[in-house]
Structure 1
Amino acid sequence: MSTATLVTFIRHGGSQVRRGVLLSSCVLQGNPRITPVKQCSTTNRRSFSSRFDPDGSGRPATWDSFGIWDNRIDEPIQLPTSIKYGKLIPQINLSRVGCSTQLGKRKENEDRFNFARLTEDVLYFAVYDGHGGAAAADFCDRFMEKYIKDFLTHEKDMEKVLTRAFLEIDKAFSRHAHLSVDASLMNCGTTATVALLRDGIELVVASVGDSRALLCRKGKPVKLTIDHTPDRKEEKQRIRESGGFIAWNSLGQPHVNGRLAMTRSIGDLDLKSKGVIADPETKRVKLHHANDGFLVLTTDGINFIVNSQEICDIINQCHDPIEAAQVLAEQAIQFGAEDNSTAIVVPFGAWGKHKNSEVSFSFSRGFASSGRWA
């Protein structure tokens, strides 16, 4: 739907305008059921128009009103942003965001997760997977939101905001560790996968380590992050040029200096001089709510045992994101995950639209088709 059409829809209450816009919307969304619009009185026209005003007294129009969702979740349309981008954009309600974390077979859960509204138009979602203790993950969980919020006040580019926040929080943790009497903080670290969503349509993800962000589009996974592992050519080269080395364990997994399974992280101060950096890789995506079902952030307890398509399939079978996050984390444990398993599921416009008839999982798959290579 074009911006001009949306503006016309709002400004004019004439039945002919409404008829044309609704029919166009149905055609664009591929809806075979087109219901004729009846003539309305002036009073009814005002009442109809008020439904598109989130601040008015009338009931606001919802995404479901246009027949786009199959699994009905009644969310109002963000009118100003819909006009700004020339397409219908549903409101992302934080109360509907699903999150779950499972201990697995570990003695302690070192995973942390968080989500919040940073500004009127920017939402924040994050997962952190600590190693060598939970101190670094706790530090990020406590302060990352504040760093991002501060940087957003004078920088509009969210990729730059996230990059700066990652680097600054790594420096802050370094200062904290050097002032602490706890020497174990020097080899404590965490992954970090953070997503910012502006106006319900501009999505930016930044990541270090092997936690992941995944977008489900038309029922298929779109990877928004790439694991920072020593088997990546450019990562391995940086480690070796910095004086570090790569060693493989008995399972054939590469580790930096025989200790760390990732080449980028926040913390791990003892390996910073060996090429382990906190500089994140970023990805910018414009959402298409008619096709995009959800965003999911996961730690490697899930990624190591459930591949990307299976994650989409499992979540698509669930009624709502809260149930989906819990089912995904629990199934990873049932499938054999030993690490902590954490997931955040953020619903978008096509939530419930692309459901597969059945979900299959096979333990006979090769090792390379699962885990960090999936």
Structure 2
Amino acid sequence: MSAACLARLARCSGPYVGRHGIFQTAVVPHSVQKDINPQFTIVQRPIYSPSEQRQSGTRFDPDSSGHPTTWDSFGIWDNRIDEPILLPSSIRYGKLIPKVSLSRVGHASLIGQRKENEDRFQVSEMTDNILYFAVFDGHGGPEAADYCEKYMEAFIKDLVAKESNLELVLSKAFLEVDKALSKNLNISSDVPGITAGTTATVALLRDGIELVVASVGDSRAMLCRKGKALKLTVDHTPERKDEKERIKRSGGFITWNSLGQPNVNGRLAMTRSIGDFDLRNMGVIAEPETKRISLHHVHDAFLVLTTDGINFIMNSQEICNVINQCNDPREAAQRISEQAAQYGTEDNSTIIIVPFGAWGKFKNSDSSFSFSRSFVSSGRFA
């Protein structure tokens, strides 16, 4: 649909247009006298969504299967969650963009076998056109994760008012939050907090189409595109050659624990984090890696943010497949958390699932699960 067509819709509709408000216009000849000056009338026929029943044999059922033509056939999207269209964004980008409702977002956080849950997460509408999603996995105490949960969004919101580049906004926000946390811990009477740290994986969705992700540590962001897991983040661990070299150049060292996992100075399993100020001079930094991607709602089913309580035990494609079998993002979030617990995770496990236009489209994705599955293939770095 062209931007001109969308503009015409805007003049007769509010900011959101439901699918049933879109019509297909056709010019049909209507003879008044035989073979003399045929007149034309304008006929409006509603386009039916996949959820509506149509009689077989119509032009909406070209293969006579009894199933109506999906929205994909019209070049839009095939969505099992009926959301209105964001008209301003659709006009701006020249394509139909569905509204992502926070009420549809699924999330869950389980304590696992730990004494307390140091994971934190947040889902909110930060501005009129930007949605905010974040997971924080605290370690060495909850102070750093608590601070990020309370203040990260505010830092980002202040920066968005001055800067339009969301990747730059997130990079600055991470560093400013880290700096503010350092001052807060020095002022606070809780001296042990100096060893507290947290991973941070933050996603911003602007205009329902521009997705920007920033991350430090080993929490992850993943997009399900055409039924396949597309990783948006890369873990910051000492196993990465570039990360290990920075640690060594800064005077730090790498050791391996009894499970064969590398640690910075024998203490920290990641090379980037917010907090962990006792390792700042050893190469551990708070600067995130960022990624920007344009969504294609006809192919993109959902965004997933997870902490390593899930990542350690389930690989990205496995998470994608399990979610694809669920009817609702909230049900999917609960199922993933419980699945990780059944597979033996001991850590806190947190997940956020944000549905997009192709939610439910890939239910037939190959998925076979077994409690006797190989844990090697589902390890931390899968």
Q: TM-score under structure 2 normalisation?
A: 0.83
- 2:100 and 2:24 map into 1 onto residues whose CA distance is 30
1:173 to 173, 178, 181: 181
Question: Where in structure 1 are there 5+ consecutive unaligned residues?
Answer: 27-31, 37-62
Following TM superposition, by how much is the alpha carbon of 1:283 offset from its aligned partner in structure 2, in angstroms?
0.3
How far has the Cα of 1:157 moved from its partner?
A: 0.5
Letter in structure 1 aligned against 2:374: R
Separation of aligned partners in 2, 1:120 and 1:10: 18
Conserved 8 A contact 2:201-2:219: yes
Whether contact under 8 Å (1:68, 1:349) holds in the other structure is no
1:15 aligns with 2:20: no
2:2 equivalent in structure 1 = 2
- The amino acid across from 2:154 in the alignment is K
Equivalent residue number for residue 351 of structure 2: 343
The 1:20/1:143 distance shift into structure 2, 3 A limit, reads same
Report the equivalent of 1:356. 364
Change beyond 3 A, Cα 1:200–1:220? same
Corresponding residue number in structure 2 for 1:271: 279
| Secondary structure of 2:136's aligned partner | strand
SS in 2 for 1:282: strand
Pick from 129, 136, 141: which aligns with 2:137?
129
Match for 2:151 among 139, 143, 152? 143
Higher strand share: 2
Q: Going by fraction, where is helix more abundant, 1 or 2?
A: 1
Matched, 1:116 2:124: yes
203, 206, 231: which one aligns with 1:195: 203
Aligned-pair distance for 1:68? 6.3
Partner of 1:59: none
What is the rounded CA distance, in whole Å, between the counterparts of 2:105 and 2:289 in structure 1? 25
The one of 345, 358, 365 equivalent to 2:374 is 365
Query: How much has 1:181 moved relative to structure 2?
Result: 1.9
In structure 2, stretches of 5+ residues that fail to align are: 13-22, 28-41, 51-56, 62-70
Alignment of 1:201-240 (within 5 A): 201-240=209-248
Bigger mean CA offset, 195-204 vs 84-93: 84-93
Deviation at 1:6, TM superposition (A): 3.2
Partner secondary structure for residue 339 of structure 1: coil
CA contact (8 A) 1:5 1:21 kept: no
SS of the aligned residue for 1:329 comes to helix
Shift in Å, 1:87: 1.1
User: Deviation of residue 373 (structure 1)?
Assistant: 1.3
User: How many angstroms apart in 1 are the aligned matches of 2:115 and 2:249?
Assistant: 36
Cα distance, 1:210 vs structure 2? 0.1
Give 1:113 deviation, angstroms.
Answer: 0.3
Q: Could you give the per-residue CA deviations for residues 272-305 of structure 1, whole angstroms, max 9, x where no partner exists?
A: 1100000000000000001000001000000000
1:139-194, Cα deviation, whole Å (9 max, x unpaired): 00000010011111111000011000000000011001111222211111000000
* Cα pair distance change 1:70/1:156, threshold 3 Å: closer
**1:293–1:350 contact (8 Å) kept in structure 2:** yes
Aligned pairs for 1:279-358 within 5 A: 279-356=287-364
The letter of the residue matching 1:349 is G
Contact 1:9 1:21 in 2 (8 A): no
Structure 2 CA distance for aligned equivalents of residues 309 and 115 of structure 1: 24
Q: Output the CA distance in 1 between the equivalents of 2:140 and 2:275.
A: 10
**Matched residues in 2 for 1:341 and 1:20: separation?**
51
Distance in 1 (CA, whole Å) between partners of 2:224 and 2:235 is 18
Alignment deviations for residues 64-108 of structure 1 (CA, whole Å, 9 cap, x no partner): 9x7966663221001111111111100010011111001111010
Q: Relative to 1, partners in 2 of residues 1:223 and 1:248: Cα closer, same or farther, differing over 3 Å? A: same
Post-superposition shift, 1:371? Answer: 2.5
CA distance in 1, matches of 2:24, 2:318: 48
Check the 8 A contact 1:71/1:319 in 2, yes or no. Answer: no
8 Å contact 1:110–1:340 — kept in the other structure? yes
CA deviations over 1:185-229 (Å, ceiling 9, x no partner): 111100000000000000000000000000000110000000000
Equivalent of 1:76 in 79, 84, 96? 84
The 8 Å contact of residues 128 and 190 in structure 1, kept in 2 or not, is answered as yes
Per-residue deviation, residues 2-38 of structure 1 (Å, max 9, x unmatched): 3244345666989338989988x99xxxxx97449xx
Contact 1:246/1:256, CA 8 A, preserved across alignment: yes
Structure with higher Rg: it is 2
Structure 2 vs 1, CA of residues 137 and 21 (structure 1 numbering), >3 Å: closer, same or farther? Answer: farther
Report the count of equivalent residues: 341
Give the counterpart letter for 2:274 in structure 1.
I
| Inter-partner Cα distance in structure 2 for 1:245 and 1:34 | 68
Q: Does 1:159 align with 2:136?
A: no
CA–CA distance in 2 between the matches of 1:225 and 1:96? 24
Q: Which amino acid aligns with 1:219?
A: G
TM-score (norm 1): 0.85
Alpha-carbon offset, residue 330 of structure 1: 1.0
